[in-house]
Amino acid sequence: MIGRKAQGTTEYLIILAVIIVIALVVVGVMGWVPGLTGGLTEQQSRAYWQSTSPFSIKEFKFSGTTAEIEVQNISANKLTLTDLNIDGIAGLSSSVSFNAGESELVSLTGLTACGNAGSGFDYNVSFTYNSKKVNGLVQLGDKGLIGKCS
């Protein structure tokens, strides 16, 4: 009779330990604990840049020192893109005007070499643009543009 009391307590502690381990695994898989996940993924980066305003990046391709980026003006106003800065390097050769909702393929040259095909990149991006009445407006990205070199 004396040994039976301790058996219930031991079973309770084992069940509690199993529940805690399962909870920790779920938290780690969901990415709620910093350091357990690999950081921002390419899909998360694409989703972020497709939702930025007033300019969004719909598609992009980096190869060597050149890039092709589909940029869209998602504001209701006509805007003129005067500079597209990738990791501190201005690669836009001339200004590009965008009507409301319009997208254009922008080619950039003279960038830092992307690397071998398939290698990853993480670039900081900023747009400098003019609106109808204000010049020199800047849009900075909070997250990097992540992808693979072509």
State residue 3's pLDDT score: 55
Residue 38 has pLDDT above 80, yes or no: no
The residue that leads in pLDDT, 139 or 28, is 139
Residue 37 has pLDDT above 50, yes or no: no
Q: Are residues 17 and 56 in the same domain?
A: no
Please give the average per-residue pLDDT across 118-141, as a whole number.
92
Q: Are residues 92 and 53 in the same domain?
A: yes
Q: Are residues 91 and 50 in the same domain?
A: yes
Q: Are residues 25 and 97 in the same domain?
A: no
Residue 101 has pLDDT above 60, yes or no: yes
pLDDT category at 7 given cuts 50, 70, 90 is: confident
Q: Are residues 80 and 33 in the same domain?
A: no
pTM value > 0.85: no
Length of the chain: 150
State residue 117's pLDDT score: 84
User: What's 137's domain CATH number?
Assistant: 2.60.40
Q: Are residues 68 and 17 in the same domain?
A: no
Residue 105 has pLDDT above 50, yes or no: yes
| Structural domain containing residue 94 | 42-148
What is the SS3 assignment for 79-148? EEEEEEEECCEECCCCCEEECCCCEEEEEECCCCCCCCCCCEEEECEEEEEECCCCCCEEEECCCCEEEE
Q: Are residues 141 and 70 in the same domain?
A: yes
The number of folded domains in the chain is 2
Q: Are residues 24 and 93 in the same domain?
A: no
